[in-house]
């Protein structure tokens, strides 16, 4: 796979997405080769132009810097059937024919082990396969998107004018995770309104009170503590607002510039390592939870759990006592 065989890469991505034993074994082997790529998350409401933006960013990284680019594009699954129509490639046709670009679509509920975990695994595969830039597109809506954003070194939150008066990202609660705010569709009327709304929200959030990572710890920093927190106020990253027209490629060089500045900031401030650490911590926790749960299910017969539930229904046992008795009753 490291040799760059595209079919093997595609198959390995499937195994990892499936959380199959072969997929897990491969991740173990690949892990030492990961940690080199720049992971860029792109999130925002449907229709804001994320796929078009990812297309432009990838084009730019290919042409200007000859970077190898991988794209993981996540679209929602139907809550009723679990099926999905994954349509992000429609906006990425400029990238076809370039062997140094690899696009993989993913349904949000397609993976058994959970979306964030599957995405983390797939990103590791691309990273180990030598892709320099990995773009992760998700629909900013839920907790799992926020979890995915945590995977990234740099997270772009995409807004567009004309999607109603509200800033969609505020509604979805994802503004907090933005390292860079993008107002796409800057050719449309209403850009000034969107920009004004974003700015005032940012000013509310920053620098009066902002949560950021400091040596792997999430810290809440009040304005007065800024200097003492990291020594210098200049080490604080204030999310810039970038305007783009993804259908034409306008504003893309400036956005790439901002992404590079953010990466530089992460390295200078030590946050790159801190984020890496926090990311691995989150991943470890996810896997531990899963492993403990799996072990619990193996050790405690389902029948025993049902009995305990019956007792709870009759109010003979409280949930806390139930947990205690099940944990103690483990055969191993």
Ligand X SMILES: Nc1nc2c(ncn2[C@@H]2O[C@H](COP(=O)(O)OP(=O)(O)O)[C@@H](O)[C@H]2O)c(=O)[nH]1
Q: Which residue in the set 88, 145, 271, 283 belongs to the binding site for Mg ion (CB under 5 A)?
A: 88
Backbone phi, then psi, for 322, in 5-degree steps?
A: -60, -45
Q: Which is nearer to ligand X, 117 or 246 (CB)?
A: 246
187's contact among another protein, ligand X, Mg ion, none, with CB below 5 to 8 A by partner kind, is: ligand X
259: burial class by Cβ within 10 Å (0-12, 13-18, 19+)? Answer: buried
Nearest CA to 89 out of 78, 102, 108 is that of 102
Shortest CB 197 distance to another protein, Å: 33
104's contact among ligand X, Mg ion, another protein, none, with CB below 5 to 8 A by partner kind, is: another protein
Spell out the alpha helix ranges (H) of 111-184. Answer: 115-128, 143-151, 168-172
Spell out the alpha helix ranges (H) of 181-225. Answer: 191-205
Residue the block writes with tokens 């950021």? 212
For residue 207, cis peptide bond before it (omega within 30 degrees of 0): yes
Rounded to a whole number of angstroms, the distance between the first and last alpha carbons of the chain is 39
CA 40 to chain centre: 8
Does 245 interact with ligand X (rule: CB under 6 A)?
yes
Shortest CB 35 distance to ligand X, Å: 28
User: How many residues contact ligand X, by CB under 6 A?
Assistant: 16
7's contact among another protein, ligand X, Mg ion, none, with CB below 5 to 8 A by partner kind, is: another protein
Does 51 interact with Mg ion (rule: CB under 5 A)?
yes
Shortest CB 50 distance to another protein, Å: 16
Q: Which residue in the set 187, 195, 276, 290 belongs to the binding site for ligand X (CB under 6 A)?
A: 187
Question: Distance between CA 119 and CA 243 in Å, rounded?
Answer: 28
Spell out the alpha helix ranges (H) of 190-301. Answer: 191-205, 226-230, 252-269, 271-299
162's contact among ligand X, Mg ion, another protein, none, with CB below 5 to 8 A by partner kind, is: none
52's contact among another protein, ligand X, Mg ion, none, with CB below 5 to 8 A by partner kind, is: ligand X
Does 119 interact with Mg ion (rule: CB under 5 A)?
no
Write out the residues near ligand X by the rule CB under 6 A.
46-52, 88, 91, 184-185, 187-188, 245-247
């Amino acid at each position: 796979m490291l040799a760059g065989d595209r079919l093997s890469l595609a198959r390995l991505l499937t195994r990892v997405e499936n959380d199959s034993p072969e997929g897990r074994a491969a991740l173990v082997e690949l892990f030492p080769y990961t940690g080199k790529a720049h992971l860029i998350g792109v999130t925002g409401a449907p229709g804001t132009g994320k796929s078009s933006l990812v297309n432009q960013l990838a084009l730019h990284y290919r042409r200007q810097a000859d970077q190898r680019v991988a794209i993981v594009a996540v679209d929602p699954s139907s809550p009723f059937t679990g099926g999905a129509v994954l349509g992000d490639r429609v906006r990425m046709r400029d990238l076809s024919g370039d062997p140094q670009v690899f696009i993989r679509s993913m349904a949000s509920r397609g993976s058994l082990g959970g979306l964030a975990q599957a995405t983390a695994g797939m990103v590791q595969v691309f990273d180990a396969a030598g892709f320099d830039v990995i773009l992760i597109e998700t629909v900013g809506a839920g907790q799992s998107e926020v979890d995915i954003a945590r995977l990234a070194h740099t997270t772009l939150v995409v807004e567009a004018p004309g999607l109603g008066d509200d800033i969609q990202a505020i509604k979805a609660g994802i503004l907090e995770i933005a390292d860079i705010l993008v107002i796409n569709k800057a050719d449309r009327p209403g850009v000034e309104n969107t920009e004004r709304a974003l700015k005032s929200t940012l000013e509310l959030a920053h620098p009066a009170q902002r949560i950021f990572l400091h040596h792997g710890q999430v810290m809440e920093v009040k304005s007065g503590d800024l200097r003492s927190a990291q020594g210098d106020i200049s080490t604080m990253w204030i999310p810039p607002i970038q305007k783009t027209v993804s259908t034409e490629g306008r504003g893309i060089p400036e956005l790439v510039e901002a992404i590079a500045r953010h990466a530089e900031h992460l390295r200078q401030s030590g946050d790159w390592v801190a984020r890496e650490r926090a990311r691995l911590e989150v991943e470890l926790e996810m896997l531990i939870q899963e492993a403990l749960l799996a072990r619990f299910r193996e050790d405690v017969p389902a029948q025993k759990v049902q009995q305990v539930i019956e007792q709870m229904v009759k109010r003979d046992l409280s949930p806390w006592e139930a947990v205690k008795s099940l944990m103690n009753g483990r055969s191993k």
